[in-house]
């Protein structure tokens, strides 16, 4: 993940696909006024858009800042590391944290670093976007778990033991052996718990998820995933793991990624299908949203597809790509390709008969509760 990509999340695209019918005739919607009053959290994303003409470390453009303001988001988990096993991961993580810190310094009226649960309410009250620093791997520790405290002191509040492949802590979801956690992996979970950091089991192999849920002394998350019962690919999570997560008080975030369907472009109906299944397995108190995407939407054009092809090619070469990733499929959901995507989704859910109370939980209430439990107030 390049430094600009940590601000961007996945690449977005204009809605060039026809809208799908997601609504029950005559059902009431979810108002913009109500949306403005609730906590809204993207458990994996980024405030930057798709700008292939800008260098990786360029400041956020004015248009992206405007979209952040328009989005209505309260907070987003921003990945501040580069994934995969490599010798420079510690240094890159520190550099990336510096990059995000610069945005907060340059735009103190737009961004707020989130360090504790009460910061979510502060972000909402002040109309700023709370930035939660998160790791999607543990390669930056290089086996030295004292670095958990180092990065906690730098503001990192969410940490994953693995990405798609094996590392010193355990097996990612792409390892056929599915060897589970190493002894160091168990020690990592204990240190994460001790440091009041949220354990995130996204991208992990089945055994790492199972063992991690049992080993953690506090509730944990799978911040961005889909339901494997609906689409059997490694990046999705099986029902037994989702149920175990919920039983321990955790929350699973449904993403807006190609893994929501067997092949082709995912659509709004796929997001809702996975949300409904996750709620049926976990209960409505244990499901949220982690789009794995950017806040702004950008136009699908030649520059986009060139970047998408290179993105997939680079991941294949690095051995970190998952089945379902394709140079011909955009990493987004066309119906929700706009900074106000969560309001559109809330309206679609309401018009399918979801109660406002349930929608509020999915939009951010569940993750807000979990974050406060993990970090304190």
120-139 pLDDT, tens digit each: 999 999 999 999 999 999 99
User: Distance between CA 27 and CA 226 in Å, rounded?
Assistant: 27
Q: Does 107 have pLDDT greater than 60? A: yes
Question: Which residues contact residue 248 at a Cβ distance below 8 angstroms, ignoring those fewer than 6 apart?
Answer: 213, 216, 219, 220
Count Cα neighbours of 264 within 13 Å in the Cβ-side half-sphere: 3
Return phi, psi of residue 241, to 5°. Answer: -70, -40
What percent of the chain is predicted at pLDDT more than 90? 80
Closest by CA position to 47, among listed 24, 71, 18: 71
Whether residue 354 is predicted with pLDDT greater than 70 in this model: the reply is yes
253 φψ region: left (φ > 0), alpha (ψ -120 to 50), beta (else): beta
Summarised one tens digit per residue, pLDDT across range 65-79 is 999 999 999 999 999
- Which tokens sit at 358? 């349930």
**Cβ partners under 8 Å of residue 205, min gap 6:** 162, 170, 171, 172, 173, 175, 178, 179, 180
> Which pLDDT score, from 0 to 100, does residue 305 have?
79
Of 90, 137, 130, nearest in space to 108 by CA: 130
Residue 19 lies in a domain: no
Q: Structural domain of residue 349, as residue ranges?
A: 3-14+25-375
Q: What is the pLDDT of residue 64?
A: 96
Considering its fold, how many domains does the chain have in total?
A: 1
* Rounded-to-integer distance, Cα 222 and Cα 255, Å: 10
Residues counted in the chain: 377
Residue 311 domain flag = yes
pLDDT at 162: 98
Q: What's the burial of 263, exposed, middle or buried (CB within 10 Å: 0-12/13-18/19+)?
A: exposed
Comparing 161 with 328, which gets the higher pLDDT?
161
* The pLDDT of residue 217: 98
pLDDT tens track for 272-304: 999 999 999 999 999 999 999 999 986 778 887
Task: Please state the rounded mean pLDDT for residues 251-259.
Answer: 97
In this prediction, residue 26 carries a pLDDT of 56
* Cα torsion angle, 275, 221, 255, 43, sign: positive
Name residues whose C-beta falls within 8 Å of residue 111's C-beta, 6 or more positions apart in sequence: 47, 68, 103, 104, 128, 129, 130, 131
The mean per-residue pLDDT over the stretch 357-376 comes to 98
SS (H, E, C) 180-242: CECHHHHHHHHHHHHCCCEEECCCECHHHHHHHHHHCCCCCEEEEECECCCCCCCCCECHHHH
| 271: CATH | 3.20.20.140
């Amino acid at each position: 993940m390049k430094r600009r990509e940590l601000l961007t999340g996945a690449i977005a695209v204009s809605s060039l696909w026809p809208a799908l019918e997601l609504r029950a005739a005559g059902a009431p919607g979810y108002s913009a006024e109500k949306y403005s009053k609730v906590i809204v959290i993207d458990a994996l994303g980024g405030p930057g858009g798709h700008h292939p003409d800008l260098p990786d470390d360029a400041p956020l453009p004015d248009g992206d800042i405007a979209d952040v303001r328009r989005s209505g988001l309260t907070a987003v988990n921003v990945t501040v590391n580069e994934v995969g096993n490599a010798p420079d991961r510690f240094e890159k993580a520190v550099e990336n944290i510096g990059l995000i810190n610069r945005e907060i310094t340059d735009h103190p009226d737009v961004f707020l670093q989130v360090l504790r649960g009460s910061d979510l309410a502060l972000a909402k009250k002040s109309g700023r976007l709370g930035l939660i620093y998160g790791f999607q791997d543990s390669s930056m520790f290089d086996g030295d778990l004292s670095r958990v405290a180092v990065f906690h002191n730098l503001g990192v509040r969410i940490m994953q033991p693995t990405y798609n492949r094996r590392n010193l802590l355990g097996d990612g979801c792409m390892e056929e052996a599915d060897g589970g956690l190493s002894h160091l992996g168990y020690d990592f979970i204990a240190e994460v718990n001790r440091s009041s950091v949220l354990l995130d089991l996204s991208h992990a192999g089945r055994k790492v998820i199972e063992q991690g849920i049992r080993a953690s002394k506090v509730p944990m998350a799978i911040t961005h995933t889909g339901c494997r019962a609906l689409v059997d690919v490694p990046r999705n999570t099986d029902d037994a793991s989702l149920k175990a997560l919920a039983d321990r008080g955790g929350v699973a975030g449904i993403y807006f990624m190609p893994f929501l369907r067997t092949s082709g472009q995912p659509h709004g109906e796929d997001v809702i299908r996975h949300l409904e299944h996750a709620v049926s397995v976990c209960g409505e108190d244990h499901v949220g949203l982690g789009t794995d995407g950017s806040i702004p939407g950008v136009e699908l054009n030649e520059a986009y597809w060139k970047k998408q092809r290179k993105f997939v090619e680079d991941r294949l070469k690095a051995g970190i790509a998952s089945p379902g990733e394709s140079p011909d499929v955009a990493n987004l959901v066309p119906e929700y390709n706009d900074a106000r995507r969560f309001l559109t989704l809330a309206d679609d859910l309401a018009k399918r008969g979801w109660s406002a109370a349930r929608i509020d939980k999915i939009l951010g209430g569940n993750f807000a509760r979990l974050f406060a439990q993990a970090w304190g107030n």
